[in-house]
Amino acid sequence: MNYTICKISLASAIICFAGCTGKTAPEATELGCTNPVIWADVPDMSMMRVGDTYYMSSTTMHMNPGVPIMKSKDLSNWEIVSYAYDILGNQDETMLINGKNTYGKGSWASCIRYVGGKFFVSTFDQVTAKTYIFTTDNIESGKWERHEFEPSCHDHTIVFEDDGHVYMINGNGKISIREIEPDFSGIKPESEQVLIENAGLPAGENLMLGAEGSQMFKINGKYYLFNICWPRGGVRTVICHRADSLFGPYEGRVVLQDKGIAQGGLIDTPDGKWYAYLFGDRGAVGRIPYIVPVTWENEWPVLGVNGQVPDTLDLPKSKGLIPGIVDSDEFDGDRPKIVWQWNHNPVNDLWSLTERKGFLRLRTDRTDTLFTQSRNMLTQRTFGPKCTGSISLDASNMKDGDVAGLALLAGKFGFAAISCENGKKSIVMVNNLPEGDATPSWPPKRGVQHVVESVPTDANVVYFKADCDFSRVADESAIGSHGIDKAVFFYSLDGTTWTSIGDTLQMSYSLDHFMGQRYALFNYSTKEPGGYADFDWYRTSYTE
């Protein structure tokens, strides 16, 4: 097989990148981009450059369509342009049936690259227990060809060698390499071998997270393997191993240990500058991308400015995440805007943008008792430092037992909604916090929801909004990487005068969902299926 490796600066580079977020920038010359470059949940980024255009993929777990693809002209401003797949399978977990779900699972840590005129994006999934490689010659509007095989290779990176052989590298602590069949149908039998016995060792022997999140780059004839690890009592750390041959031997060192910002790799600009793309855990908003300057000393990458992640960068200023990463939607098209993702697999005959022009209609066809098990929940990211999401909801055709509204979806969730009960409507605020306790608890109480406040109403059209505050606290050391992470819900009967409802939702990031908080539009039935709710619009903005 003949592969052409995409050129990076003076070197041919093999790149796996994870990340997603931002907005396409107009021609921008003013410098002064600030970190984080995307204050929203875009973790496990993989990144590459094709000519003057950067592409990035990222993790969105149990959301569909999956593996968002983003592009940028300047590393500061990003927009979502496509997804690698619509769904991966129709298991009980992915369909939210028989009480099952795939929260905290789904597809993780993709790898993206461009070889021989084709784009390759790979990922893995815990429910299907498979590895996936998607290929296309048009990353923005082309059709993806899908290859899948067992086993599920966690946090892998793919390497295309000049001789046509293709390899997959992954592991946790012990890093291994396997050769992929030329047709991407699976791993070649007996091809596995260990590359690095203990990749976390440069950070010490007492680790609570062994080296994982592998991303491999070939630069000026040398191989550079990036991993993340977490020393006990320390912060997440970037480790780089270097070798003259793909199969080693490798020597390693710590290349960044600052604020827990880690996991990612290297990217260069057309004019020869180098950067690292990494992410940091930032509380309830999620895991958010940072760009870090890179210099080279003795053929080693040196990350940061005096070993630290700078607050500002010599890159064009961000124009904001709207509309590239998050966006308002008047629901006047034939599909929701590209920034939306369904929570789990959608049931396509139960939602419509055409039955009532200009409205998103969500129908019910079964009963549920828990908000997080309701199907056809349409979601998009929250974002920092402060944001607002609002909706207009027509409840005229909801049935007894129906609940529809605007949610903040995560392990710790809350929502404001219209609830139909015994022929009467109420405006409610609901969360799954312990009753009378507004503080997070662990583990989240999945099977419990509390009606915090209920207000009777005769209105059929009600407006809801949720204000989120992810601002950093003055003393970050007091709560680590978390921000204020509070949200307040409101309702209105005229779209102008707003009344708060319920209590303040203390948001938090939890491993049961493994995602940042998401705005969600939903409708589910607790008694009588067959009703529907009509959403006139969703609007989002930065909050002062």
Strands 424-431 and 414-421: antiparallel
Range of the domain at 506: 341-542
Q: Over the stretch 515-542, which tens digit does the pLDDT of each residue have?
A: 999 999 999 999 999 999 999 999 999 9
Residue 89 tokens, joined: 């399978």
Residue 510 tokens, joined: 């939890």
Same domain assignment for residues 94 and 227: yes
Same domain assignment for residues 266 and 371: no
Query: Does residue 326 form part of some domain?
Result: no
Number of domains in the chain: 2
Residue 49 pLDDT > 90: yes
Query: Does residue 140 form part of some domain?
Result: yes
Residue 474 pLDDT > 70: no
Euclidean distance between CA atoms 22 and 35, whole angstroms? 12
Report, as an integer, the average pLDDT of 497-504.
Answer: 97
Query: Does residue 321 form part of some domain?
Result: no
Residue 29: predicted pLDDT? 44
Same domain assignment for residues 218 and 345: no
Same domain assignment for residues 349 and 388: yes
pLDDT band at 329 (very low <50, low <70, confident <90, very high): very high
Same domain assignment for residues 221 and 347: no
> How far lies 498's CA from each of 388, 428, 495, in Å?
13, 14, 7
Same domain assignment for residues 366 and 275: no
Residue 347: predicted pLDDT? 97
Same domain assignment for residues 140 and 53: yes
Same domain assignment for residues 305 and 374: no
Euclidean distance between CA atoms 302 and 151, whole angstroms? 35
Residue 311 pLDDT > 70: yes
Same domain assignment for residues 40 and 180: yes
Give the DSSP letter of residue 25.
-
Query: Does residue 329 form part of some domain?
Result: no
pLDDT band at 19 (very low <50, low <70, confident <90, very high): very low
Report, as an integer, the average pLDDT of 327-335.
Answer: 96
Q: Which residue type is seen at 236? A: R
Query: Does residue 489 form part of some domain?
Result: yes
Euclidean distance between CA atoms 199 and 187, whole angstroms? 23
Q: Answer with the one of 316, 351, 372 that is the final residue of a domain.
A: 316
Residue 448: predicted pLDDT? 80
Same domain assignment for residues 148 and 217: yes
Q: Answer with the one of 253, 283, 316 that is the final residue of a domain.
A: 316
Do the Cβ atoms of 108 and 88 come closer than 8 Å? no
Euclidean distance between CA atoms 216 and 111, whole angstroms? 10
Query: Does residue 529 form part of some domain?
Result: yes
Same domain assignment for residues 308 and 396: no
Residues paired with residue 388 on neighbouring β-strands, in sequence order:
467, 541
Euclidean distance between CA atoms 465 and 102, whole angstroms? 28
> How far lies 112's CA from each of 162, 185, 446, in Å?
17, 18, 35
Q: Over the stretch 378-413, which tens digit does the pLDDT of each residue have?
A: 999 999 999 999 999 999 999 999 999 999 999 999
Residue 448 tokens, joined: 């419990």
Residue 473: predicted pLDDT? 77
Give the DSSP letter of residue 283.
G
Q: Answer with the one of 256, 282, 316 that is the final residue of a domain.
A: 316
Q: Between 21 and 262, name the one with better pLDDT.
A: 262
Residue 181: predicted pLDDT? 96
CATH code for the domain of 63? 2.115.10.20
Same domain assignment for residues 394 and 305: no
Q: Over the stretch 221-247, which tens digit does the pLDDT of each residue have?
A: 999 999 999 999 999 999 999 999 999
Lowest-confidence pick of 68-82, 166-180, 422-436: 422-436
Residue 433: predicted pLDDT? 73
SS3 for 178?
strand
What b/e sequence results for 163-180 when a residue is b if at least 16 CB atoms lie within 10 Å of its CB, and e otherwise? eebbbbbbbbbebbbbbb
CATH code for the domain of 487? 2.60.120.200
- ∠ CA 87-100-402, nearest 5°, is 90
Query: Does residue 63 form part of some domain?
Result: yes
